[in-house]
Amino acid sequence: MTDLAMVARVRAGDADAYRVLVERHSRTLFRLAYRMTGNEHDAEDVVQESFLRAYRQLGRFDERASFGTWLYRIAVNCSLDLVRARKRRGEITASADPEMDDPLSTAAAPDPAPDRMAMSGEVRERLSGAMNELSASERTAFVLRHFEGMRIEEVGRVLGCQPGAAKHSVFRAVQKLRRALEPLGSAR
């Protein structure tokens, strides 16, 4: 059965039909939420919260649209709420602070081969650290453009901002990520 057929059944009062939608979309939503929040626990919270919100807002869902896309949008908003709340509380994970690394030790190291770079734990640390340092809008715009393959204009629609603003968020995100790897010699 298609998503839309299931939505129609939920609207007709069959709450169990919602289970099918939850089971169908949970894992994809988790991947999105993880990339947006960078944290498994938060991602699980986002998934649950998104399905609860979606259920309550189902009356507003336009059946000409795709349920998956609509759900995505809700999950993006849930993730944004969480990321913003966390930034406000000033929570930063240990790996999120590049100042913690000794810049001299990394600069002195010989340039490893690209293949080894891809495997290196330090690259991973730096990249996920840099991801965590992106602002909420940079991170969201980047995740939607890069991982979800949305066009920038679409990213703007999902985030409720102008395409120009979405574009600059993507630019800033990519620039920050690239610069985070520069000291490792991969960005030359």
Partner 1 sequence: MTHLSEETLILHYYGEENDTPAPEGTLAVERHLEECGECRALYGSLVRTLNMVDALPVPERGEDYGARVWERIEPGLPARRRWLGFTLPPLRWAAAGVALAGLLVAAFFAGRFYPGTRPTPAITAKAPDAQGPERILLVAVGDYLERSQMVLVELANTTAKGPVDISAEQERAGDLVAETRLYRQTAAHTGDTRIDSVLEELERVLVDIKNQPSRMTPRALEELRQRLEAEGIIFKIRVLGANVRSRETTAAERAGSKL
Given the rule CB under 8 A, which residues bind partner 1?
A: 13, 15, 18-19, 22-27, 30-31, 34-35, 40, 45, 47-48, 51-53, 55-56, 77, 80-81, 84-85, 88-89, 114, 117-118, 123-124, 127-128, 131, 145-146, 151-153, 160-161, 167, 170-171, 174-175, 177-178, 181, 186-188
- Three state DSSP letters for 56-89: HCHHHCCCCCCHHHHHHHHHHHHHHHHHHHHHHC
| Residue among 61 and 167 whose Cβ is closer to partner 1 | 167
Q: Work out how close the CB of 23 gets to partner 1 at its nearest, in angstroms, rounded to a whole number.
A: 3
Q: Work out how close the CB of 48 gets to partner 1 at its nearest, in angstroms, rounded to a whole number.
A: 5
Task: Please say whether the beta carbons of 29 and 77 come within 8 A.
Answer: no
| Residue among 34 and 72 whose Cβ is closer to partner 1 | 34
Q: Work out how close the CB of 103 gets to partner 1 at its nearest, in angstroms, rounded to a whole number.
A: 18
Task: Give the Å distances, CA to CA, from 185 to 85, 98, 106, 116, 120.
Answer: 35, 15, 9, 12, 13
Task: Give the Å distances, CA to CA, from 107 to 72, 103, 116, 119, 184.
Answer: 41, 6, 16, 18, 7
